[in-house]
């Protein structure tokens, strides 16, 4: 059996298609005779799908382009993401690690008669970590991340979008990689969508065919903010589906600790103040929270201060939700409702204490 494996490798290195097929067939026969019928079946199925011309690795460096715009329709990267930077719910984290384990131990699963899980659909609100998860899986598995560029993929020329999809899958099939299809709903919509033309059916059909033929040695990840728009047949093509939701208080606390690691604040080690800030951030995405904290930190630096305060953060939350601060009194009320003291508001915003005290008479403070 080892002889067949060596011969298959030799054939692959010199692009000898016939040698690869012949010795892979012999390997399948030998495995079946040794009781490994499932693995033998897998090899034969792979051979039946891969009857096309073997492609040299040299051509892998030439990215596919859209015929109309001449834009690249993929990007290649090798991201390095620390596991500590992934802040998700316990369920989502466990599901992601289970998916990675399934892929890494796919040979073990095959020997037991089970297919490995190599296709993952991520859905949830914008800014909740779908792209980061794809990058993390790339980092953990060591597989290059091949990201489809939707701005180049969708063409105005009739039939070209389906051709671009085929180009991307052909490109990704040349070696083990992670093919990442972001904004997946753009090309995987319901085929009975009355607002779309017949071209959509061709696109979705092309997508389904290419997913079905995708290599078991690579990983396919798709991400969407609008899962309700996906065609039902598309859902069935993914062995693993994970929802990434907006963070709750526990995840918000983890995120704050990561972002503010090594920074001086007046709230991270004060439970009551931290509770107020976490509550104010509930309902926002991971991306929104990072933006708010970074904006607050810029303000601290530009005002030549060393300490990030609860007022700094709450002010940015208020601005993020309202997009402006038209009435200063409303901001002061918001800060007091979320636990800021008169002194903290005075020092942070340089507003006279007398004015703050006057406004506070009509404020009901939240209890934590």
> In the predicted model, is pLDDT for residue 339 greater than 70?
yes
The residue that leads in pLDDT, 29 or 286, is: 286
Mean pLDDT of 333-361: 87
Do 17 and 23 meet the contact criterion of CB atoms below 8 Å apart? no
CA distance 295 to 320: 10
135 — pLDDT class (breaks 50, 70, 90): very high
What average pLDDT is seen over the chain? 84
Do 122 and 221 meet the contact criterion of CB atoms below 8 Å apart? yes
> In the predicted model, is pLDDT for residue 145 greater than 90?
yes
pLDDT at 53: 36
Burial (CB count <10 Å: 0-12, 13-18, 19+), residue 198: exposed
Q: What is the pLDDT of residues 277-328, one digit of tens each?
A: 999 999 999 999 999 999 999 999 999 999 999 999 999 999 999 988 778 8
Render the burial of 47-64: b for 16+ CB within 10 Å, e for the rest. Answer: eeebeeeeeeeeebeebb
pLDDT at 51: 45
CA distance 191 to 234: 11
3-state DSSP of the chain: CHHHHHHHHHHHHCCCHHHHHHHHHHHHHHHHHCCCHHHHHHHHHHHHHCCCCCCCHHHHHCCCECCCCCCECEEEECCCCCHHHCCCCHHHHHHHHHHHHHHHCHHHHHHCCCCCCCEEEEECCCCCCHHHHHHHHHHHHCCCEEEECHHHHCCCCCCHHHHHHHHHHHHHCCCCCEEEECCHHHCCECCCCCCCCCHHHHHHHHHHHHHHCCCCCCEEEEEECCHHHECHHHHCCCCEEEECCCCCHHHHHHHHHHHCCCCEECCCCCHHHHHHHHHHHCCCCHHHHHHHHHHHHHHHHHCCCCEECHHHHHHHHHHHHHCCCCCHHHHHHHHHHCCCCHHHHHHHHCCCHHHHHHHHCCCCCCCC
pLDDT at 20: 82
Cα 228 to Cα 182, 191, 204, 210, 220, distances in angstroms: 15, 13, 15, 22, 20
CATH class of the domain at 57-243: alpha beta
> In the predicted model, is pLDDT for residue 358 greater than 90?
no
Residues 6+ apart with CB under 8 A from 134: 122, 145, 147, 178, 180, 182, 221, 223
DSSP bridge pairs for 297: none
CA distance 22 to 215: 20
> In the predicted model, is pLDDT for residue 97 greater than 50?
yes
Q: What is the pLDDT of residues 153-169, one digit of tens each?
A: 776 555 688 888 899 99
* In the chain, domain spans: 2-49, 57-243, 249-360
Q: What is the pLDDT of residues 181-206, one digit of tens each?
A: 988 877 776 555 554 556 667 788 88
The residue that leads in pLDDT, 45 or 247, is: 247
pLDDT at 9: 81
Ramachandran assignment for 127, one of left (phi > 0), alpha (psi -120 to 50 degrees), beta (any other): left
> In the predicted model, is pLDDT for residue 68 greater than 80?
no
> In the predicted model, is pLDDT for residue 96 greater than 60?
yes
């Amino acid at each position: 059996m080892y002889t067949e494996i060596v011969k298959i490798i030799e054939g692959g290195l010199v692009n000898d298609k016939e040698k690869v097929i012949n010795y892979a067939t012999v390997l399948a026969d030998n495995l079946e005779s040794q009781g490994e019928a499932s693995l033998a079946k897998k090899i034969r199925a792979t051979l039946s799908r891969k009857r096309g011309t073997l492609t040299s690795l040299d051509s892998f460096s030439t990215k596919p382009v859209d015929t109309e715009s001449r834009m690249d329709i993929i990007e290649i990267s090798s991201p390095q993401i620390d596991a500590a930077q992934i802040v998700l719910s316990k369920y989502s984290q466990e599901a992601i690690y289970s998916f990675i384990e399934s892929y890494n131990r796919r040979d073990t699963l095959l020997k037991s008669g089970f297919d490995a899980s190599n296709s993952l659909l991520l859905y949830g609100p914008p800014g909740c970590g779908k792209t980061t998860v794809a990058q993390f899986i790339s980092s953990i598995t060591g597989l290059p991340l091949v990201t489809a560029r939707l701005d180049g993929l969708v063409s105005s020329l009739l039939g070209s979008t389906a051709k671009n999809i085929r180009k991307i899958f052909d490109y990704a099939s040349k070696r083990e990689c992670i093919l990442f299809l972001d904004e997946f709903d753009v090309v995987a919509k319901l085929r009975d969508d009355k607002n779309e033309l017949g071209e959509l059916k061709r696109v979705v059909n092309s997508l389904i065919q290419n997913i079905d033929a995708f290599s078991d040695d690579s990983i396919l990840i798709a991400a969407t903010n609008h899962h309700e728009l996906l065609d039902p047949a598309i859902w069935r093509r993914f062995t693993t589906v994970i929802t990434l939701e907006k963070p709750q208080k526990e995840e918000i606390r983890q995120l704050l600790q990561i972002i503010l690691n090594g920074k001086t604040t007046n709230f991270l080690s004060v439970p009551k103040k931290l509770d107020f800030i976490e509550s104010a951030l509930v309902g926002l995405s991971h991306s929104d929270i990072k933006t708010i904290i970074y904006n607050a930190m810029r303000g601290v630096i530009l005002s030549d201060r060393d300490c990030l305060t609860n007022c700094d953060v709450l002010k940015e939350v208020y601005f993020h939700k309202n997009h402006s601060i038209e009435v200063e009194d409303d901001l002061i009320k918001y800060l007091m409702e979320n636990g800021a003291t008169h002194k903290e508001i005075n020092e942070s915003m340089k507003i006279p204490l007398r004015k703050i005290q006057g406004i506070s008479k009509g404020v009901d403070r939240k209890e934590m």
